[in-house]
Amino acid sequence: MLIFYRFIPFLAGLLCAAALGLAIVAPDWFLPAMGALLLALAFLYARLIDLPKHDFGFWNFLLTPLLFTLSAGFFFVFLEDASSMFILLGVLAALHLIYAEHLFYYFHRPSEYRVYTIERVSLVLSIATMFLLSSSLFGLMIFVQVPLWVPAAISLSPRARRCSSCRSCSAFS
């Protein structure tokens, strides 16, 4: 079973590259490709994360890459140059590979895990998520003439509260 867990990071990166590659080649397949990608990533990360499903840490580890993928997909809609689409594809696949690799070491090889790497990678993913989401909301505001308060309300929504009872949440405090 450890071999299957070992292949999950590579599979996550490959799925991201395949889904966005399909969206570049056939734009009509963008929504089905993103939906299938989000479902597949949710399944793969849920298998990789070794925490109970009712624990806040499980949802923290699961939703970080899924929100990053969702914001990258939203940003992808506003790109028109193929080279920038391929750059986004490469960044998305590489960050999923790195995040899933560190999750594997954190949960299944704790002796080889380097301290605070999952927190740092999660921080990078969170910053990238906020950048992509803010850029997408700005593009939505410019191109669709959405009132300013709608993107502001989405961008400035309050953060989820962190608990101090589990090992993963106490590391983020």
**Least confident window among 32-36, 48-52, 150-154:** 150-154
CA pair distance 159, 150, nearest whole angstrom: 17
The closest of 100, 108, 90, 110 to 65, measured between CA atoms, is 100
The predicted-structure confidence for 92-140, as pLDDT tens digits, reads as follows: 999 999 999 999 999 999 999 889 999 999 999 999 999 999 999 888 8
pLDDT at 167: 52
Residue 41 near residue 66 (C-beta atoms within 8 A): yes
The predicted-structure confidence for 6-28, as pLDDT tens digits, reads as follows: 999 999 999 999 999 999 999 99
Interval 55-69 mean pLDDT: 92
Residue 78 DSSP label: T
CA pair distance 137, 105, nearest whole angstrom: 35
CA pair distance 161, 20, nearest whole angstrom: 33
Domain count along the chain: 1
User: What string of DSSP letters covers 109-155?
Assistant: -TTTPPTTHHHHHHHHHHHHHHHHHHHHHHHHHHHH---THHHHHHH
pLDDT at 158: 64
Helices (H), the chain: 2-25, 30-48, 56-76, 82-108, 117-144, 149-155, 167-172
- pLDDT, the chain, mean: 87
Quote the domain boundaries for residue 108. Answer: 2-155+164-172
Residue 103 near residue 61 (C-beta atoms within 8 A): yes
